Each structure stands twice: as C-alpha cells, then as structure tokens.
Amino acid sequence: MIKVGVVGGTGYTGVELLRLLAQHPDVQLLTITSRGEAGVAVADMFPSLRGRVALKFADPATAPLRDCDLVFFATPNGVAMKQAPELLAAGVRVIDLAADFRIRDVALWEKWYAMPHACPELVAEAVYGLPEVNRENILAARLVANPGCYPTAVQLGLLPLVEAGLVDSSHLIADAKSGVTGGGRKAETHLLFAEASDNFKAYGVPGHRHLPEIRQGLSEIAGHSVDLTFVPHLTPLLRGIHATLYARITREENFQTLFEQRFGDEPFVDVLPPGSHPETRSVRAANTCRIAVHRPQNGDTLVILSVIDNLVKGAAGQAVQNMNLMFGCDECAGLTQIPVLP
C-alpha cells in the first residue's frame, strides 16, 4: 500500500482528492492536514466521506508527513515550495497541485505569482505532470508539478496540431470557460451565488497566471516558441472547463485521424466522432478530457473543443493519475468513475 498524506484537505481540490484516494485500491491515507481545522473529523466537515475516511485533520506541524511514501499539496500557491525540500530529503515523493513548480523560469514565476520562490533549485528537477506528454519522466519523478486546469484542457486540445507542426503556432487562440469551483473554496464577492449565478463574464484578459504555463508547455511540445492569446471566462457552473481553441492551418492533414491516432492509447482522452460538440456535464466527476475537431466551412481555421472537469482531470484526478505512474500502479486505478449525469 502507498502511504499517502494530503496537505490542505479542506478546499474543493482537497476534498476531491480525498474522494478519489478513499476508493483507491493501493492507497492508505495516513494523514490529512489543516491548520484551521486541526482535530476536526474529516467526515464532519465533508459528510460525503462518512464511512470512507475516519481520520481527523492534523496540524501540519505535528502530522506524520515524513512517514508517508507520497505527499500531495492541495494548498494555495506558495505553500509546497516551503515544505517540499524537507520531505524530499526524507525520501518522501511530492505532487504539488498548486503552481509552485510548474514554470521553469523562476523569474517569470515570481513575476506572475508576486512572491519570491523559496526553493528555486528544485524547479529544474520538477516534472510537469501531464501524462499524455511526460509519462516516461513521471515514472521516476520525486517531485511532480501537477498542471493547472485551464492548461490541461488547452494543451490537450492543441497537442496533436502543435506536435505535428500543422498550424501557425504564432497565432493560437484559447477561449476558455470555467465553473466557479476553479476559484477555490473561499469567500470572494465574484464567487457568491448572487454574483456568479445567471451571469457570464471574461476576466484576466490582460494576462492570467496560467498563460505562461500554457505557453511553456506548448513551446516544449513544438520545439520552438509558441504564442497564444488566452482569455478565461467565469460561468455559472459548479464544475467544468470548456476550451474553444482556434488554430490556422499551415499544412493539410486528415485532422480527425491525427487526433484519433495521437490519443488512441490514452485512457483519459476521448476523441469524439466528427461533428460532435462535447459538453462539460459529459465529464463531470470523471478524469476524462473529451475533444472534438471542427473545420468550419472547410476553411483555413481549425476549431478544437476540449472539455474537462476542472477538479478531476484539471486537478485531483490528474494528480492521482500521476501517483499511479510514479508507484507502478495501473494508471487507471481509482479513476474509473463514470461521469455523473445530470
């Protein structure tokens, strides 16, 4: 059994991670931390976990994290980078669901996240945890930077085109929408029901923290610098990301076949038949990305539709997928849930 600790188990990503780990056949949950809720039974805060998680939240200062085989950080940005070095030195492997290790250029990270990096020496070692791109490197990783939710949907949608060099990578566009859980489990005015319900708006148009992460990933896939216009939107959904991606064709190909072949062996990417329009509810609570390929009016622009559950393939599910790879488990272990409908 893999002895697992979860740092920061009180947010939406944290409870989603607990839901998946509690039914994983190869996992023993050893400790779940929270400074504010230390001593409180996890199932008292999250009744959905009654009968499945018997632990109480532990204070991070006294939790037996060093006794774990793996520690997940489901914490705000800036937490994992302060605690990861000590855990790694003790032989504990780490998966960070925040952004502390995603961007290789430390100065660029500090610019976008407005804080000094606490352990820049580990950034180069961290493996970016997008299995469809970095599976082999994830297998032996000590430290995995779990991708962001928008970056997962956008990169998977554009991956085959950029990888094969079939589109103009200097003029890519990602128009993406997210449910309110993407903003975290906190009290902020724009996330209140009266503000987000019956409403739809763009945000972060001048620049969003996920932009450098997406550009970095696509540039590494392409082998050269990639430019991207990325505009996120907030929608009145609890879960889900829908990314509409635009790419100008530079070389002809059977694009449907390209996507089907590229993702044919990927257990969590589903390329839909021609003419399909994937819905966010078709992936709700599942670790699945569904993709559809369109070429409107047979013109020179491809439109790729990519949907994920932001809390699963966009966060906790992908983290568990990475854990499975790191510890030699079946990659699909604990992740075979059928999406919830309605």
Q: Which pLDDT score is estimated for 191?
A: 83
Residue intervals in the chain for CATH 3.30.360.10? 149-310
**Class of domain 149-310 (CATH, top level):** alpha beta
pLDDT at 262 over 90: yes
What percent of the chain has a predicted confidence (pLDDT) above 90? 95
pLDDT tens, residue by residue, 90-114? 999 999 999 999 999 999 999 999 9
Q: What is the mean pLDDT of the chain?
A: 97
State the pLDDT confidence band at 196, using cuts at 50, 70 and 90. confident
Residue intervals in the chain for CATH 3.40.50.720? 2-125
Partnered with residue 73 across adjacent β-strands are 7, 96
SS3 per-residue string spanning 168-204: CCCCEEEEEEECHHHHCCCCCHHHCHHHHCCCCEECC
pLDDT at 46 over 80: yes
Q: Which pLDDT score is estimated for 337?
A: 95
Q: Which pLDDT score is estimated for 184?
A: 84
Which tokens go with 133? 């791109």
pLDDT at 282 over 80: yes
2-125: which CATH number, 3.40.640.10, 3.40.50.720, 3.40.50.300, 3.40.50.150? Answer: 3.40.50.720
Residues designated catalytic: 149
Taking the CA atoms of 282, 222, 325 and 179 in sequence, report the sign of the dihedral they define: negative
Q: Which pLDDT score is estimated for 170?
A: 96
Q: Which pLDDT score is estimated for 202?
A: 96
pLDDT at 141 over 90: yes
For residue 115, give every residue at least 6 positions away whose Cβ sits within 8 Å of its Cβ, in sequence order, or none.
Answer: 77, 78
Q: H-type helices in the chain, by residue range?
A: 12-22, 42-45, 80-89, 106-113, 131-139, 149-164, 193-196, 210-222, 255-262, 317-326
State the pLDDT confidence band at 266, using cuts at 50, 70 and 90. very high
CB 97 within 8 A of CB 60: no
Alpha carbons 290 and 339: distance in angstroms, whole number? 12
pLDDT at 185 over 90: no
Q: pTM, whole model, 2 decimals? A: 0.96
Peptide bond into 147 cis (omega under 30): no
Of 122, 336, 167, 150, nearest in space to 241 by CA: 150
Averaged pLDDT for residues 203-231: 97
